[in-house]
Structure 1
């Protein structure tokens, strides 16, 4: 067991909005949003309203196709929904798929003046996934991006605020040499720093790369966008079958964000069901042609994490530096999450077998509970397999704990000093020791309400 700590969703929108207005051009918190097919405007409106309710400033729209009708239709629906709900969007062009900036510049030009487009320093914000090794025929990647993005847009009077994810540039981290070699960027995002590497074993996520990047970015007059995520589990085919450790990754990253105070935060992700780190809605149209993804994401709701993230976003925007300052909007907030399959499962019926990195998983109930500043005497009761397996004390702020799990049903209760249950959550899926079906290392996330 590990413990540390130092049903008011109706209040989320108003409180988070006030914090956002107070820091409108600082400490933006975004969620990476995978653009996919949508069933209609209601889905876009729901996503935008849910994101705004927890205090997000914008979606970073991951665009893999800048011209296909399914993509441009979804983008238009999202911009319409954002404009109608006072929310913002910006593009994050997926350079693992797109060949060169000329393929997406028309789309960017079309929307960068939209009232719903996110601006920083009076400049349209734009990001990427990868692209740090692409030079587009120029003498270097920096020269390529300068020519094909910055200079190409300058001829139209557009000066983008460019904060890409260039993790693929070839270095170990974003150090002083990176910023010397890439003056084209206005800042950077690190996607890969969000989780431990597989070769790190059962170690918790480290913020060492973020620390280097923040220092080097600020020394160069640039910004750093820090990633915040839960886990990464992909189980699609022989080349895409891995598990990057989750467990308490999400609350541990929250603590690191508060300690390091990055310029921006990007939550990975709102809706990427293929990598299992979604916190929002995953619409069926987006994965209608992906039965492998459906097999490990359908029925695995992650929206319970929003109850933990909303108070964190408000705390971060208000300058909090410790998890003891992340307090709920009401009497409490919380969630717990667990895998429905023990790591020792053979998964004999799954042709892909266990994901690489599964040896780093732990059979745990992972818990995050937020309590007010004046809290005393509240305990967390953890039930696994029908039995009370642990009673944990709490403190004010964000409490995180991980308790060994048993097969069967799971339940977590919050009990006050008078012995009254003030909040609880129960599993909807039992934990199994083995399976003849999909070797699923995705999480069930349960809201403590």
Structure 2
């Protein structure tokens, strides 16, 4: 029997989006857009959320290519107007872009009719959206997380159709809970809630207002998808597809997308050679559970793993703090927020007879499962666990077996090393 989750009757149709920073893509070709769209489709993502800054000269050319590619591949896109990166958007410019692109079959429409629109911040311009909505019939779900949800929902006479939370990462060494999500839902009182899900956060970009901190990511991805199934929001937004500067990308890494590390005077390129492809592996399963409210009776079994490529104290910290004072948090040494461990997640029909072996540089450890599916051990779903580095260095291979027969392996990622690029710690994680 399939395991069912509680569903609100009003939530029959749900969507999963991935946030894409268009400003990272001025060198993207039509073929690049097509490749990324195909990867998103394979992961069962419904649309890219196109984050666009007000004064980026590359935006128009990028949007033309993006919509051409999406229309040809039957994929969807919608805008997130960034009000922080280069200042607020003029109201007329927002209207003009929506009037140009919303008629495209590739533009995502809420209920098939109203163009879906979001923002990155911008509550100070809330009144603009009264006229923007009147001119475009937009379905408006902004990120105004800098304002308490109970206040944001009432701005400009209640102009929003819903709200998106950008609070996707925990404060300190404690795991993220659903308390913030529930507060948004309560404040919205029936309006749509878009819930954030992210796998990691590390940034060291001195040229971008001194951004240099890490938030705890250990176990975060798996925890949030479990919480999505519990909270059952109207929409989910993955943070992000390609924000390399903050290390929470789940899309592929191309050298042509990494110019920001030079522009921001980064002490090292902490993304080059650091794949996050593993975090997409079980997205089709997680999205199906979210959308249907049930776990399939049989799953395609597999394994993924993630880990930081150096022990926390192997290299100088690079001035990185754990937490960020600018977000009202108490800063601590970053090593207090992360574990020197290899984390793994296995999608299994059952954990009966299953063993996990983690090899670091050829030295093996046997791991167990500390996390089981919501329905408990012995049922289909994602099982999670970890083993410590244990002082071992080298390539990482994680193998899941049942009764001595190999089910799957996770391997091929950057190995664990104490060699420090530019004498700076890389707090990013490898996910394979």
TM-score (norm. length: structure 2): 0.84
- Tell me whether 1:280 sits opposite 2:251 in the alignment: yes
The structure 2 residue matched to 1:251, chosen from 204, 222, 226, is 222
Structure 1 segment 329-408 matched on structure 2, within 5 A: 329-330=299-300, 332-347=301-316, 352-357=318-323, 358=334, 359-372=336-349, 376-392=352-368, 395=378, 396-406=380-390, 407-408=392-393
Task: Answer whether contact 1:248 1:402 (CA < 8 A) is retained.
Answer: no
Q: What count of residue pairs does the alignment treat as equivalent?
A: 391
Distance 1:33 1:440 in 2: 23
- Tell me whether 1:430 sits opposite 2:410 in the alignment: no
Q: Which residue of 1 aligns with 2:72?
A: 84
- Tell me whether 1:28 sits opposite 2:3 in the alignment: no
Q: Closer, same or farther in 2 for the Cα pair 1:264/1:377, shift >3 Å?
A: same
Q: CA deviation at 1:445?
A: 1.1
Structure 1 segment 98-109 matched on structure 2, within 5 A: 98-100=87-89, 101-109=91-99
Provide, for residues 76-124 of structure 1, a one-character-per-residue CA deviation record: whole Å limited to 9, x for no partner: 1111111011110000011112323333332122101111000113210
SS at match of 1:241: strand
Q: Closer, same or farther in 2 for the Cα pair 1:107/1:49, shift >3 Å?
A: same
- Tell me whether 1:95 sits opposite 2:83 in the alignment: yes
Moved more, 287-296 or 227-236: 287-296
Q: Closer, same or farther in 2 for the Cα pair 1:289/1:319, shift >3 Å?
A: closer
**In angstroms, what is the RMSD of aligned CA positions?**
2.4
Q: CA deviation at 1:293?
A: 8.4
- Tell me whether 1:149 sits opposite 2:147 in the alignment: no
Runs of 4+ in 1 over 4 A off after TM superposition: 326-329
Provide, for residues 190-244 of structure 1, a one-character-per-residue CA deviation record: whole Å limited to 9, x for no partner: 112x1102xxx21111210001112322x2x310000000111101117111101
Q: Which residue of 1 aligns with 2:44?
A: 55
Q: Closer, same or farther in 2 for the Cα pair 1:178/1:327, shift >3 Å?
A: farther
Higher relative contact order (CA 8 A, sep 6+): 1
Q: Which residue of 2 aligns with 1:12?
A: none
Q: Which residue of 1 aligns with 2:284?
A: 310
Q: Closer, same or farther in 2 for the Cα pair 1:98/1:305, shift >3 Å?
A: same
Q: Closer, same or farther in 2 for the Cα pair 1:91/1:24, shift >3 Å?
A: farther
Q: Closer, same or farther in 2 for the Cα pair 1:266/1:167, shift >3 Å?
A: same
SS at match of 1:254: helix
Q: Closer, same or farther in 2 for the Cα pair 1:262/1:246, shift >3 Å?
A: same
Task: Answer whether contact 2:196 2:236 (CA < 8 A) is retained.
Answer: yes
Structure 1 segment 107-256 matched on structure 2, within 5 A: 107-121=97-111, 122-132=113-123, 134-135=124-125, 141=126, 144=127, 148-154=128-134, 156=135, 158-169=136-147, 171=148, 174-175=149-150, 177-181=151-155, 183-192=158-167, 194-197=168-171, 201-217=172-188, 219=189, 221-237=190-206, 239-256=210-227
Task: Answer whether contact 1:342 1:434 (CA < 8 A) is retained.
Answer: no
Q: Which residue of 2 aligns with 1:411?
A: 397
SS at match of 1:82: helix
- Tell me whether 1:441 sits opposite 2:424 in the alignment: no
Task: Answer whether contact 2:199 2:279 (CA < 8 A) is retained.
Answer: no
Task: Answer whether contact 2:273 2:414 (CA < 8 A) is retained.
Answer: no
SS at match of 1:44: helix
Q: Closer, same or farther in 2 for the Cα pair 1:49/1:427, shift >3 Å?
A: closer
Q: Closer, same or farther in 2 for the Cα pair 1:254/1:153, shift >3 Å?
A: closer
Structure 1 segment 34-73 matched on structure 2, within 5 A: 34-35=21-22, 36-65=25-54, 68=57, 70-73=58-61
Q: CA deviation at 1:327?
A: 7.5
Task: Answer whether contact 1:274 1:293 (CA < 8 A) is retained.
Answer: no
Distance 1:57 1:401 in 2: 29
SS at match of 1:274: helix
Q: Closer, same or farther in 2 for the Cα pair 1:445/1:67, shift >3 Å?
A: closer
Q: Which residue of 2 aligns with 1:20?
A: none
Structure 2 spans left out of the alignment, 5+ residues: 4-9, 324-333, 370-376
